[in-house]
């Protein structure tokens, strides 16, 4: 008979999660795992991508066993249905990241026009370098004027009518030429997303290959457009991340302090909250209510943004966002957008936690809405933080349980920091790869998903890769998992194979480099482009791979598509809803190799996945004439 302990143990590999799952059970709080279980058995048609509700002649489904209907009412077959569904996932993911990037470009514009008190240009060097990339004359021009021109040029890229996105130039000419021949060079960001929605309307693009090609174009408008703008403008406004020490897991909460959690993706609000917390008046208010002070911690990707730039500790990733509330020690959770489960307000209501939403795009029933704009952010941040302080006396002391001891981590590996650690050029990395000390590099990215034991995929895969001399760059929720497992301190070099260990020790870096949040996967893309250019080869020739062992989000689908479009084979731990179309499965896993020089591999077992990645890196090494 399965006991409760066995049942909970199957949910997560992390001790803080398990402790809070037990507490949730005794507190009568249901979590994402309970809701996941309640959804079983899942709809087999949807799982295979064989259901469609795009129009009112439907909903329709296709029988995968060939006995029932083989076409929807409009005549769509399995290939069209799967391609349309996948295309819409890519469009939604690209739109999410890119809209985040737009908010940053608009904030940069507001700063340049003097409308954003509290914000400023944190890195003028980066601002001027970006202006140079955009062909904006900046020498002798005041920084705010440069910022205005750059923000306008970036915002123009959203609705651009002709040409191609500026950051395409970061990729090697061989790759750009291949995209040109395929007709997938990304044009305006909004244009590609809109076109995907158009093509997947009933009766428009009825060729599954043509839909998926536009999927690449849409995803590239995210990777070399909206997401990359998000990353680069965040660096200009808040600083380019540098290697910084911090901590991770639920132990970062402080029993004596007013605990404020920042959750979501966009640093615009969280940076202002971080400033407000440092205000002496706010600190004095906290002491007045009996707290020792204020304690800020991050969750998910907003957490990564704060961690990378300010060293603010991170409490957890996607599946920890409910469990952190179960500690009973959180006065306030401030959210922006994306990956914020609608269940959070109900769970917060079981304790004394206030949830504050901040974006007009993301409101929550049960949350207090305080809308942040560039103009009001500084004043509002202080008001919101003072409201968190006022909530401290409402804490129920008997309900508080903060599990675990924080684990140390080193974060902050922007492209600039990686190149800085290498002495300013990618050459030492190239030398280490050529010498076989580093077999290759893999981006381990993406979410958690209750279909996978929490953090098991990320940590098992990453450990095996570094043991085999593979340098890992991680982002988002994968990065939190690896930090909690202790893989992101320089001492973790001892867990790496001999070659990688030697390189890490020489440079004083961990074998797993945190490059940021979900939008910051563009840093990995940028680095891949720089490596390929330095070697005068195509990105597809390099010993690189992408991996998303626990992905759930449409944004992850967009990321996977732009990574594969860049010629980098990507390994997925969760099966995407495409199995209903054998033609699309064949195209994704085999056919694409001849088209973009890369493919998708689905391998749910993280150990087998690591071995498959190592085999793939070896094949790329042989292709370059390197030893294996
Ligand atoms: Fe059915 Fe076609 Fe409408 Fe989809 S688009 S719901 S398959 S009729
Ligand atoms: S937060 S998109 S669960 S990585 Fe970026 Fe994590 Fe995935 Fe959200």
In a domain, 51, yes or no: no
User: Is ligand 2 within 6 A of the CB of residue 447?
Assistant: yes
Residue among 49, 76, 199 to mutate when testing ligand 1 (max atoms within 8 A of CB): 76
Kindly report the protein residue whose alpha carbon is nearest to atom 8 of ligand 2: 339
pLDDT on residue 5: 86
Q: Specify whether 532 is located in the same domain as 566.
A: yes
User: Do 258 and 229 belong to one domain?
Assistant: no
Mutate which of 46, 58, 70, 199 to test ligand 1's pocket (most atoms within 8 Å of Cβ)?
58
Low-confidence ranges of the chain (pLDDT < 70): none
Assess whether 534 and 608 both reside in one domain: yes
CB 511 within 8 A of CB 466: yes
Q: Which of 238, 267, 296 is the last residue of a domain?
A: 238
565 assigned to some structural domain: yes
Q: pLDDT tens, 139-191?
A: 999 999 999 999 999 999 999 888 899 999 999 999 999 999 999 999 999 99
527 in the same domain as 469: yes
440 and 388 inside one domain: no
**Do residues 142 and 255 share a domain?**
no
Same domain, 355 and 435: no
Domain that holds residue 151: 78-238
- Are residues 223 and 93 part of one domain? yes
Based on the domain organization, do 328 and 395 belong to the same domain? yes
Domain presence at residue 18: no
Kindly state whether residue 243 falls inside one of the protein's structural domains: no
Q: Give the ligand 1 atom nearest the CA of 53.
A: 6
C-alpha dihedral sign at 579, 581, 587, 590: positive
Q: Which residue has the tokens 């920042």?
A: 262
> Is 104 within the bounds of a domain?
yes
Whether residue 232 is found in the same domain as residue 254: no
Residue 4's pLDDT is: 85
Residue ending a domain, among 366, 399, 432, is: 399
Q: Is 94 contained in some domain?
A: yes
Q: Are residues 390 and 418 in the same domain?
A: no
CA distances from 484 to 246, 443, 489 (A): 11, 18, 11
Encoded tokens for 383: 């008001």
In 3D space, the residue among 327, 237, 311 whose CA is nearest the CA of residue 27 turns out to be: 327
Per residue in 70-115, pLDDT tens?
999 999 999 999 999 999 999 999 999 999 999 999 999 999 999 9
For the chain, what is the mean pLDDT?
A: 97
Rounded to the nearest angstrom, the distance between the alpha carbon of 36 and the centre of ligand 1 is 28
| pLDDT, position 424 | 86
With a 6 Å cutoff on the Cβ, whether 553 touches ligand 2 is yes
Residue 463's domain is classified under what CATH number?
3.40.50.2030
Residue 31 maps to a domain: no
* pLDDT given at position 421: 86
Please tell me the predicted confidence (pLDDT) of residue 404.
87
Distances, alpha carbon 511 to alpha carbons 250, 310, 612, in Å? 24, 22, 20
Residue 161: per-residue pLDDT: 81
CATH number of the domain bearing residue 197: 1.20.1270.30
Query: How far, in Å, from the CA of 58 to the mean position of ligand 1?
Result: 5
Q: Which of 300, 362, 517, 572 to mutate to test the pocket of ligand 2 (most atoms within 8 A of CB)?
A: 300
- What SS3 class is residue 359? strand
Q: 0.85 exceeded by the pTM?
A: yes
Pocket test for ligand 2, best of 306, 447, 452, 458 (most atoms within 8 A of CB): 447
DSSP labels for 404-437?
S-PEEEEE---HHHHHHHTTSSSHHHHHHHHTTS
What share of residues in the chain are helix, strand, coil (percent, to 5)? 55, 10, 35
Nearest ligand (C-alpha, residue 321) = 2
Does the beta carbon of 572 lie inside 6 Å of ligand 2? no
Calculate how far, in angstroms, residue 75's C-alpha sits from the geometric centre of ligand 1: 8
Structural tokens at position 98: 């890119």
Hey, what's the torsion of the CAs at 196, 202, 205, 211, to 10 degrees?
50
Q: Is residue 19 part of a domain?
A: no
Largest CA distance in the chain: 75
Q: How many independent structural domains does the chain possess?
A: 3
Pairing of strands 354-357, 332-335: parallel
H/E element, 449: none
Same structural domain, 318 and 437:
no
Residue where a domain stops, chosen among 343, 369, 399: 399
Q: State the Cα–Cα distance between residues 195 and 215, nearest whole angstrom.
A: 10
């Amino acid at each position: 008979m399965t006991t409760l302990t066995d049942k909970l143990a199957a949910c997560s590999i992390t001790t803080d999660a398990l402790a809070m799952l037990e507490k949730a059970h005794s507190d009568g709080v249901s979590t994402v795992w309970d809701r996941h279980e309640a959804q079983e058995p899942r709809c087999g048609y949807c799982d295979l991508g064989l259901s469609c509700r795009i129009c009112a002649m439907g909903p329709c489904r296709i029988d995968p066993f060939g006995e029932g209907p083989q076409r929807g009412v409009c005549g769509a077959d399995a290939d069209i249905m799967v391609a349309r569904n996948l295309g819409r996932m890519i469009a939604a993911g690209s739109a999410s990241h890119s809209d985040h990037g737009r908010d940053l470009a608009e904030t940069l514009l507001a700063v340049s026009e003097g409308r954003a008190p509290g914000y400023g240009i944190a890195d003028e060097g980066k601002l001027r370098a970006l202006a140079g990339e955009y062909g904006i004359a900046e020498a002798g021009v005041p920084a705010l004027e440069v910022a205005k021109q750059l923000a306008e040029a970036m915002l123009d890229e959203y609705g651009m009518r002709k040409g191609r996105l500026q950051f395409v130039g970061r990729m090697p000419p061989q790759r750009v030429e291949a995209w040109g021949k395929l007709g997938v060079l990304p044009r305006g960001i909004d244009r590609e997303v809109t076109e995907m929605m158009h093509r997947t309307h009933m009766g428009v693009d009825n060729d599954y290959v043509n839909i998926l090609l536009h999927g690449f174009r849409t995803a590239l408008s995210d990777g070399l457009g909206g997401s990359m703008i998000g990353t680069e403008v965040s660096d200009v406004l808040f600083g380019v991340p540098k290697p910084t020490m911090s901590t991770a897991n639920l132990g970062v909460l402080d029993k004596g302090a007013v605990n404020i959690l920042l959750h979501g993706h966009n640093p615009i609000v969280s940076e202002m909250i971080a400033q407000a917390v440092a205000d002496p008046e706010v600190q004095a208010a906290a002491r007045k209510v009996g707290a020792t002070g204020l304690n800020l911690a991050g969750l998910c990707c907003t957490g990564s943004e704060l961690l990378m730039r300010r060293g603010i500790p991170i409490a957890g990733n996607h599946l920890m966002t409910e469990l952190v509330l179960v500690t009973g020690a959180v006065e306030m959770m401030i959210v922006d957008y994306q990956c914020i489960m609608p269940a959070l307000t109900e769970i917060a209501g079981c304790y004394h936690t206030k949830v504050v939403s901040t974006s007009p795009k993301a409101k929550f029933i049960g949350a207090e809405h305080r809308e942040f704009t560039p103009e009001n952010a500084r004043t509002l941040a202080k008001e919101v933080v003072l409201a968190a302080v006022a909530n401290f006396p409402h804490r129920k002391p008997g309900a508080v349980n903060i599990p675990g001891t924080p684990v140390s981590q080193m974060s902050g590996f922007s492209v600039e920091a990686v190149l800085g650690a290498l002495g300013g050029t990618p050459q030492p990395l190239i030398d280490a790869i050529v010498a076989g000390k580093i077999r290759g590099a893999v981006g381990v990215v993406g979410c958690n998903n209750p279909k996978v034991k929490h953090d098991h995929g990320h940590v098992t895969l990453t450990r095996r890769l570094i043991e085999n001399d593979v340098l890992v760059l991680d982002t988002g929720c994968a990065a939190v998992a690896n930090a909690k497992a202790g893989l992101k301190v320089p001492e973790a070099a001892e867990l790496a194979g001999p070659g990688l260990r030697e390189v890490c020790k020489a440079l004083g870096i961990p074998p797993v480099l945190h490059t940021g949040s979900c939008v910051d996967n563009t840093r990995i893309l940028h680095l891949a482009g720089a490596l390929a250019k330095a070697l005068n080869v195509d990105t597809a020739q390099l010993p690189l791979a992408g991996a998303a062992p626990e992905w759930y989000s449409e944004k992850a689908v967009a990321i996977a598509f732009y990574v594969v479009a860049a010629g980098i084979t990507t390994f997925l731990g969760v099966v995407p809803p495409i199995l209903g179309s054998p033609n699309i499965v064949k195209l994704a896993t085999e056919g694409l190799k001849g088209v973009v020089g890369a493919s998708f591999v689905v391998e749910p077992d993280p150990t087998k996945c690591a071995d498959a990645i190592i085999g793939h890196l070896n094949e790329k090494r042989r292709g370059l004439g390197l030893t294996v």
